[in-house]
Amino acid sequence: MIVWLNGTFGAGKTSAAHELLDLLPGSTLYDPELLGTGLRLMLPAKRLEEVDDYQDLPSWRRMVVDTAAALLTEVPGPLVTPMTLLRQDYRDEIFGSLAARRIPVRHVLLHAEETILRQRIALRAEQPGDPEAHASVRRWSLEHLGPYADALAWLQGDAHVVDTTLLTPRQTAERVAEAIRTGAGACDIVQTPEPTAETLAAGVLLFDDQDRVLLVDPTYKAGWEFPGGIVERGEAPARAGVREVAEELGIELPHAPRLLVLDWEAPHPPGFGGLRLLYDGGTLTDDRISKLLLPGSELRDWRFVTETEAAQLLPPVRWNRLRWALRARERGCPLHLEAGVPL
């Protein structure tokens, strides 16, 4: 298990984490910031200049998961992880990958009001040492208060919140330990195994009466997606699409959907690629839309979007596939793509 202590600078994550080690038997401190430090030393300067933060590196997010899994083969756990994580798509990627490894996460947010955070940051910056270094740390910490305020809406809905305003680090750790014992902060994420080879996946496009397409927001991976999923062994792809729509949204399609696009996705390590099929599931009436259901462990939200709006939500590979699927729907003829390019 991982106890992920989230919160911005000044919330008391590191000091509470050290106290928490005394309260959770077998626990070990796991600091993913060390992985970021290692990447800064190993990656070329040109690559580092392309990102604002080491969390923006896909390699860092992958290493957080792989290192946690490796550590748990050496120690009994839990791993206590004091790490600021403000982007929900990064949360989905990391926590979803941990769930795929059967590693449960307890997400705890250590929170204090901005005035308190600013006071703590100021005191931290005034510690003895290199004045220039302290000023840099203070600026960095203050710059994160805005993004933290923006992220509070999803953080408070996802994590168990502990207000540290009037608490010592020991008291904070005691509150966290008690919360963990009662099951608070558990992230209920579908345990989708990571693929070990090429996969066959079937997605279904569903439309409203304005011809907008339905997208869903998975809890276990970054970015929006089409309803659908991996075709199981021995299963017909169109039938898999129908099954996934029923499981994810509670919608029973009356007939097999029509194929729009068959796309071969090239392998890009650590991904294996494979065949991706998109089907036309037809138009949903307002009555059927009102009955849409979401499995909380798998999907967070859904929305109908225009083609232009979809470009802002979907990762580039999925957006390109949608774009060609819509053209195929207009023409009434399916398209065969390889790596997103029509043949």
pLDDT per residue as tens digits for the range 302-334:
999 999 999 999 999 999 999 999 999 999 999
pLDDT given for residue 57 in this prediction: 97
Q: What is the mean pLDDT of residues 216-224?
A: 92
Q: 194: pLDDT confidence band, cut at 50, 70 and 90? A: confident
Q: 6: pLDDT confidence band, cut at 50, 70 and 90? A: very high
**The sheet that has 79-82: what strands, in order across it?**
28-29, 79-82, 2-6, 105-111, 160-163
Q: What is the mean pLDDT of residues 5-18?
A: 94
pLDDT given for residue 142 in this prediction: 85
Which residues does residue 341 pair with via DSSP β-bridges, in sequence order? 338
Closest CA to 79 of 52, 111, 106: 106
pLDDT, the chain, mean = 93
pTM recorded for the entire structure: 0.88
Q: 134: pLDDT confidence band, cut at 50, 70 and 90? A: low
Closest CA to 237 of 201, 199, 197: 201
**Has residue 68 got a pLDDT over 70?**
yes
Q: What is the mean pLDDT of residues 22-35?
A: 96
Distance in angstroms (rounded) separating the CA atoms of residues 311 and 46: 28
Other C-beta atoms closer than 10 Å to the C-beta of 194 total 12
Residue range 152-184, pLDDT digits in tens = 999 999 999 999 999 999 999 999 999 999 999
Amino acid at 243: R
First-residue to last-residue Cα distance in the chain: 47
Which residues does residue 99 pair with via DSSP β-bridges, in sequence order? none
pLDDT given for residue 132 in this prediction: 62
Q: What is the mean pLDDT of residues 225-251?
A: 94
Q: 190: pLDDT confidence band, cut at 50, 70 and 90? A: confident
* E runs forming strands in 143-273: 160-163, 199-207, 213-218, 228-230, 258-265
pLDDT given for residue 86 in this prediction: 96
Distance in angstroms (rounded) separating the CA atoms of residues 148 and 131: 26
Task: Quote the percentage of the chain above a pLDDT of 90.
Answer: 82
